[in-house]
Structure 1
Amino acid sequence: MTEEVTPFDIVPDSERRGLIGALPRGWRPFASLMRLDRPIGAWLLFWPCAWSVALAGLGARGAALILWFGLGAFAMRSAGCVFNDIVDRDLDRQVERTRLRPLASGRVSLKGAWALLIGLCLIGLAVVLQLRVTAALVALGSIGLVAAYPYMKRITWWPQAWLGLVFSWGALVGWPAVTGAMELAPLLLWGGGIFWVIGYDTIYALQDKEDDALVGVKSSALALGKHVRAGVAVCYLLALAFWAAALWRVRPDGLGLAALLPMALHLLWQVAALRVEDGADALAKFRSNRFAGLLMALACLVVGTA
């Protein structure tokens, strides 16, 4: 007689080792739903916040704001992953890379996912309450964009552009959190962030091209086809142009442009070394943007505090 296999027996390897594997068994699907084993998304959401705070000169609360934004980035990226999985649970069952996600595999109930999402959003709200009024209002203004994002891959070949609006939004929040007002510099920083996100998320989407084509999911990687490398290069060049303008706005001399050079070299390496048909390499290049974000933060710090 064959022993019945339940959804709880069908788990990805990531739940059997590392941080998630060390948790009690009942917690592991929820930790996986939050992508606790893959913090890269939280880093990528955090960096534009840090850039903006640094470019604004840090101010009296700079260190505290950085910590609050770190907590907010973790909570809201986790919340975004939960909401995305709620919306995509049927699609996820059809894609090899995502079929074992907790909701798609039935290891977390829909009710449990919604409860987790609400809890994470409350943490995000607690962070927003630490900000000046202007910054708090700007932060809340992203809610509609965040809620719409999971549907974009069904509507447009460029869901990465929508993700760029969302994941760079912190650049609009950090500056008024320090100064209490909105200016052109953070808008330019945000514009650069949008193209940065389109570039790196196009690289990320290379992993799923075949499955996405089969299930009818749209992506910039599919839209660009053989021109992915050129498309990413254009996005990164536009990002650098916007960032150069932002730094020049704060300090109109060569120091700002020189501070951007390490970031420019890193992005050039990503494009030049990218192996388009190698999913593992695409993932590695995508993850390297955690370091790229640090390079940009240092550039903003040099210019903002000089």
Structure 2
Amino acid sequence: MRSLHTYAKLIKFSHTVFALPFALAAVTLAHMEKPLTIPTLFWVVLAMVGARSAAMGFNRLVDVRFDRLNPRTANRPSVTGEISVQAMVGFVAGSSLVFLVSAAMLGPLCLKLALPCLAVLFGYSYTKRFTAASHMYLGAAIGLAPLGAWIAVTGSLDARILLLSAALMTYIAGFDILYACQDVDFDRSIGLYSLPSRWGIPRALRFSEALHATTVVCLLGLGLAFQRGRIFYLFLCVIAGLLVLEHWLVRPHRLNHIPIAFFHVNSLVSILLLAAVWLDVLWPT
């Protein structure tokens, strides 16, 4: 159990709450097109966990020299020696295998897309070395989750689900910019790229606000595209309010509120989005 806790700490397993609800929302919408089976749901969730674990483990592996120098990340298991390099390589390989097997169980198309998906996820770990657009890349990579979940259930692509992927992309990129505000001085000193270190915190925060406004617009478009009812739009109003609260909490002179905004507010946004879709499908109005 101690070892399991250490690996969960390594990949911040609790942060799965940010993207998994979006994928499950896509599964719920796909269920209206093609009835969902329990095995499909199981393999979708396992694929999500495998892909995220592999990506996070790979990130910790290639970033260990930076994490060792950053006071904020110096206590990560990959830095302290709680998990060896060999163990991290094994963890990434094992998680990747879980993802590939899950994709195979979801059908030939999912299996064909699995390796390119892993390549995109792994690629994020290098983006901060050369571009301040790393936040957008991260959002785009994680934004594949609803698209993959839809394909897993229906076996085909529907352009409407891209609105949910776009919502997740802008949502992730927006709060990743907020998170990066904590490392402005370190990033500048070590030569890493981020919008806060490149543009300054005030401008980066305004860009984050624009991204989260786009999130709300995308979710509104999703509701219209799938002809959702009043329950969905009621929850959407709450989600919009939470995003406004997040940006009220995090100001250039209030960066100490970033942990609250990052985990507590954002986890509520994801959970409420899933509840909005699920309840609206369950009780259509």
Q: For this structure pair, what is the TM-score category when the shorter chain's length is used for normalisation?
A: 0.7 to 0.9
Gaps in structure 2 of 5+ consecutive residues: none
1: CA distance between counterparts of 2:50 and 2:160?
27
CA apart distance, 1:162: 0.7
Q: Which residue of 2 aligns with 1:45?
A: 19
1: CA distance between counterparts of 2:129 and 2:279?
41
The CA RMSD over aligned residues, in Å, is 2.5
Letter in 2 for 1:120: S
CA apart distance, 1:57: 3.3
1:289 to 238, 261, 266: 266
Q: Which residue of 2 aligns with 1:261?
A: 237
1:94 equivalenced with 2:69 (yes/no) = yes
1:248 equivalenced with 2:216 (yes/no) = no
Stretch of structure 1 that moved more, 181-190 or 101-110: 101-110
Residues 1:146 and 1:234: Cα distance change in structure 2 (over 3 Å): same
Contact 2:68 2:74 (8 Å CA) reproduced: yes
Contact 1:203 1:283 (8 Å CA) reproduced: no
List per-residue Cα deviations over 1:144-203 (Å, max 9, x = no partner). 211211100011012111110111211101212222210111111111211111111111
Q: Which residue of 2 aligns with 1:189?
A: 164
Identical columns (%): 22
Contact 1:260 1:296 (8 Å CA) reproduced: yes
2:118 to 143, 153, 161: 143
1: CA distance between counterparts of 2:255 and 2:205?
14
- Give the TM-score, by structure 1 length: 0.81
Contact 2:61 2:85 (8 Å CA) reproduced: yes
Letter in 2 for 1:295: L
1:79 equivalenced with 2:54 (yes/no) = yes
Q: Which residue of 2 aligns with 1:219?
A: 194
Q: Which residue of 2 aligns with 1:299?
A: 276
Instruction: Give aligned pairs, total.
Output: 280
1: CA distance between counterparts of 2:253 and 2:184?
10
List per-residue Cα deviations over 1:28-67 (Å, max 9, x = no partner). 7xx5354268333222231221121122236533655444
Structure exhibiting the larger radius of gyration computed from Cα positions: 1
Contact 1:248 1:257 (8 Å CA) reproduced: no
1:230 to 206, 210, 230: 206
Gaps in structure 1 of 5+ consecutive residues: 1-21
1: CA distance between counterparts of 2:41 and 2:209?
30
- Residues 104-123 of structure 1: pairs in structure 2 closer than 5 A: 104-123=79-98
Residues 1:63 and 1:213: Cα distance change in structure 2 (over 3 Å): farther
Residues 1:62 and 1:258: Cα distance change in structure 2 (over 3 Å): farther
- Residues 163-182 of structure 1: pairs in structure 2 closer than 5 A: 163-182=138-157
Contact 2:57 2:88 (8 Å CA) reproduced: yes
Letter in 1 for 2:270: G
1:204 to 154, 179, 185: 179
2: CA distance between counterparts of 1:195 and 1:160?
9
2: CA distance between counterparts of 1:34 and 1:79?
12
- Give the TM-score, by structure 2 length: 0.87
Contact 1:48 1:169 (8 Å CA) reproduced: no
Letter in 2 for 1:147: F
2: CA distance between counterparts of 1:289 and 1:167?
15
